[in-house]
Chain A
Amino acid sequence: MQDFLSSLVSVAFHGLAYGMILYVISVGLSVTMGLMGFVNLAHGVFAMAGGYVMLSAMNSYGVSFPIAVATAFIAVAVASMVLERLLYSRLYTAGELDQVLFTIGLIFMSVAIARLVYGTLPQPVRLPDYLTGQLHFLGRDFPAYRVFLILFSISIIGLLWFGVERTRWGAMVRAAVDYRAMAQSVGINTSRLFTLTFALGSGLAALGGALGAEIIAIQPTYPFEHLVFFLIVVAVGGLGSLRGPFVAALLIGVTDTACKYWVPEFGAFFIFSVTIAVLLWRPEGLFGRAA
């Protein structure tokens, strides 16, 4: 019994860390899909880019870990703004199929570019000393970096929720998600709002990619390999919501970890079964608005 409780704590902890990373990466996708109705399959590209920027900053330029993470966020957010203005914005009115095709094209191109610049091997992650080692509490050892991941993600999420619930920008986003036409008619500059929101969503993905590089290795095929999980988080959570993907990410993180721990032979069955069950029960996702 003691053993069981103790392993329960471990599973919850590791699941939480994994779920947090999934959430930070995917939340931007939920907002852009909800706000702009844009099916952006290339979202993982931004996460990968964040990882590469952070790792190059650290490995090639000797930049310290916190500054490298901040650089990843800013660089990718700015780059995504350019991309949004030049390419994405032209496709807001296009059909879903065109958007899918376009973003798959972007993934292909980014995979090739990443390979050209960084080669095929996963990039090494060297954490600063103060984030390595174990922390001991609740009668178990916990890796310090994962504790940091959880705490840091919680503060990011807190900031994000505060931003959406309490600021003028957040009010505009919420209004635009609910009633796009109305938001336009009351004079919200939706084009600028879209650009900023897109940049923030991509920046968050970059942050998640960078922080999660230790768990989800950064290598050129990243945007393809993990796409399914990002999409599942968004679809199970519900479009245009902040809380939905959070619950979904934790659900997936914890169940995936639990499955690996107790029934490793059942691999990834569980995640997909949960996804199917949730979507049949609530097609619009756990916290999505009914269509």
Chain B
Amino acid sequence: MNHTGGYVADPRIRAIEWLPWAIALLCYFVAPTYLPLGSYVLTMIIFALSLDLILGYGGIITLGHSAYFGTGAYAAGILAARLTGEPLIGLLAGTLAAGLLGLITGLIILRTRGLALLMLTLAITSLCFEVANKATSWTGGADGLGGFTIQPILGLFKFDFLGKTAYVYCLVVLFACWWLVRRLVYSPFGASLTGVRENNVRMHAAGAPVYRRLVIAYTISAALAGLAGALLTQTTQFVGLKVLGFELSGELMVMLILGGFGRIYGAFVGPLVFLVAQDYLAKQFPEYWYFGIGAMLVLVVMFARGGILGIIDAIIARLRRTQS
């Protein structure tokens, strides 16, 4: 289940790695009325993957990743409202805008570590939030940006209100992102990121330009987050200020840690479990679902460090031991 990369790890795709895709496709046919939730889950998986790259592999703890998600979302939204609703150009715009912001802010914040870095990410997100809140003529401010239309994908597939096109669109984009992230994780660059996370000091002593490498990783991660944001904009045809809120960053981090970080598929399992649980609890106990989510987090920390995939690993390991 582990995808730690490195020079001995086998990069070939294992049979079980097709399971998520099989499930996702199955959902399309079996649960057509759940597709809007499904699209959201797929989008958040991309977002979580981008965080996994810097948090799970690079060891950077951030509460500000929504800055990039939101930038991507607004870039795609503003583009659609002012220039063109062509979806692929929108995705590209979101990715580039967020990547650029990631590069600039990364150059600044990655000079620090620990609490200072955490607070800088938080402050930058809050600043972006205020900018979007104030630039009402561009962003719609607290009311959000809506009223734009997204053209059919490749001129062929129109976004329908049941969310079928959106779901497939998200799935295809996620697949591409997954493939890229997976390549990156198994590459020498991914290995060196793991090195930075595991031991920053030793990485310096091994002659690695740690700062520059983190900036690059951060930029890639920000670009991916922007891609996810642009995807959200296009599938919901609306951008709300919430995409820039630090609450979203917190929620994202919770999802990733819940799934298990630094292992690619934690970013799949976490958002799925969190959002489905939230969806379910919010319907059963709309006033109190927060309690259930909170209790789940506390229990995970108390009894299941390493997240859900960590538990599964432990169970498998135990089974193997009792067999032998």
Contacts and interface: CB of A to CB of B under 8 A. Distances in A.
Do A's and B's CB atoms come within 8 Å in the complex?
Answer: yes
Interface of A: 33, 39, 87, 90-91, 94, 96-98, 100-102, 104-113, 115-116, 224, 228, 231-232, 234-236, 239, 265-269, 272-273, 275-276, 279-280, 283-285, 291
A279 B118 CA distance: 10
Interface string B266-293: 0000000000000000000001111101
Contacts of A284: 116
Contacts of A109: 290-291, 294-295, 298
A109 B294 CA distance: 5
Contacts of A115: 287-288, 290
Interface string B294-316: 11111011100100000000000
Contact of A112 (B122, B290, B296, B302): B290
Interface on chain B toward A: helix, strand, loop, or mixed SS? helix
Contacts of B293: 105, 108
B317 interface: no
A106 B115 contact: no
Contacts of B254: 101, 104
Interface residues of B, number: 43
B297 A102 contact: yes
Interface string B77-97: 000000000000000000000
Contact of A97 (B261, B295, B302): B261
A13 to B, nearest CB: 26
B242 interface: no
Contact of A105 (B118, B253, B301): B301
A100 B305 CA distance: 13
A109 to B, nearest CB: 4
B130 A267 contact: yes
Contacts of A283: 111-113, 116
Interface in B149-204: none
Interface of B: 55, 61, 108, 111-116, 118-120, 122-124, 126-127, 130, 133-134, 246-247, 250, 253-254, 257-258, 261, 287-291, 293-298, 300-302, 305
Contact of B133 (A39, A112, A267): A267
27 contacts: A90-B302, A98-B305, A101-B254, A101-B300, A101-B301, A105-B297, A105-B298, A107-B294, A108-B290, A110-B294, A112-B294, A115-B288, A115-B290, A224-B247, A231-B119, A235-B119, A236-B119, A267-B133, A267-B134, A272-B123, A272-B130, A275-B119, A276-B108, A276-B123, A276-B124, A280-B108, A283-B116
Given A106-B298, A279-B112, A116 B288 contact: yes
Nearest to B56: A97
A239 B113 CA distance: 14
